[in-house]
Amino acid sequence: MADDNNEEIEEKILDAEGQPEGQKTAEPEKKKGLRKYLGFLSFIPRFYKKYTVLSIAISLVLILAIAGSAAMYFLFWNKKETSEDQPIQYAASYHALPELKLSIKRSDDNLGYLIIGLTLKLPVDVKPEELRKKEPEILDALHTYFASITLDSLGASAATSLVSPVGLERLRQNLIRRLNTVLLPIKIESILFRKLITQ
């Protein structure tokens, strides 16, 4: 009977635990192996069991702090030279002057007629707004210049030579010189002819 009682007790113990008392389970071995690989992070499962809500809140705060500090570094402290530090670079720009219709003297004391359209090429550091402010001075200088010359003085011999490449280049250089003296400190790089008609 004692043997029957012992067997019944062993069966109850087996039913309650699922295995005999003296045998170790395979599960703790797996956990031990997992803890071995995780190293210092092995306390996390035990910590979560005891303090689930608190541990999740602490984890979220830590993750947000790390992400926030990384964002601050990349957004503010890791900046290279900004556009505020660099001077503004303008591309060379052009300024079209209104078309001029002028009466101009010829060498034979007759009046000729000149229609001229000019475009000024500005250097990189000059803003077009600066030139617009000085446009009345430019137009005055052009009217004064054309009133003081004859058509023949622009070309080599006849009024038609103004249309030749040599006559146009000579007129361009004279206008650049005249306008650069009027517009100091602004210097015009070049003058382009949009229209040039003489009669």
pLDDT per residue as tens digits for the range 99-152:
988 887 776 777 777 888 888 888 887 777 888 888 888 888 888 888 887 766
Same domain, 55 and 138: no
> Same domain, yes or no, for 183 and 133?
yes
Output the pLDDT for position 159. Answer: 45
Name residues whose C-beta falls within 8 Å of residue 122's C-beta, 6 or more positions apart in sequence.
92, 93, 94, 95, 128, 131, 186, 188, 189
* CB burial readout 190-199, b (16+ within 10 A) else e: ebeeeeeebe
Residues 99 and 69 in one domain: no
pLDDT surpassing 50 at residue 79: yes
Are 69 and 135 part of one and the same domain?
no
Residue 192 placed within a domain: yes
* 176 and 102 housed in the same domain: yes
Which of 8-22, 65-79, 178-192 shows the highest mean pLDDT? 178-192
Are 54 and 107 part of one and the same domain? no
Q: Which H helix or E strand runs over 147?
A: helix 135-148
Residue 91's pLDDT band, with cuts at 50, 70 and 90, is low
Mean pLDDT over the full length of the chain: 72
Q: Are residues 130 and 98 in the same domain?
A: yes
Residue 144's domain comprises 93-198
User: Does 46 map to a domain?
Assistant: yes
pLDDT-derived band of residue 56, with 50, 70 and 90 as boundaries?
Answer: confident
Per-residue pLDDT reduced to its tens digit, 18-44: 555 555 555 555 555 555 555 555 555
pTM of the model: 0.50
If asked whether residues 190 and 121 sit together in one domain, one would say yes
130 and 97 in a common domain? yes
Same domain, 99 and 68: no
What's residue 153's pLDDT?
66
Residue-level pLDDT at 80: 59
Instruction: Give the distance, in angstroms, between the CA of residue 80 and the centroid of all CA atoms in the same chain.
Output: 13
122 assigned to some structural domain: yes
One domain, residues 55 and 126? no
Residues 63, 32, single domain; the answer is yes
Task: Give the 3-state secondary structure of 17-61.
Answer: HCCCCCCCCCHHHHHHHHHHHHHHHHHHHHHHHHCHHHHHHHHHH
Domain count, the chain: 2
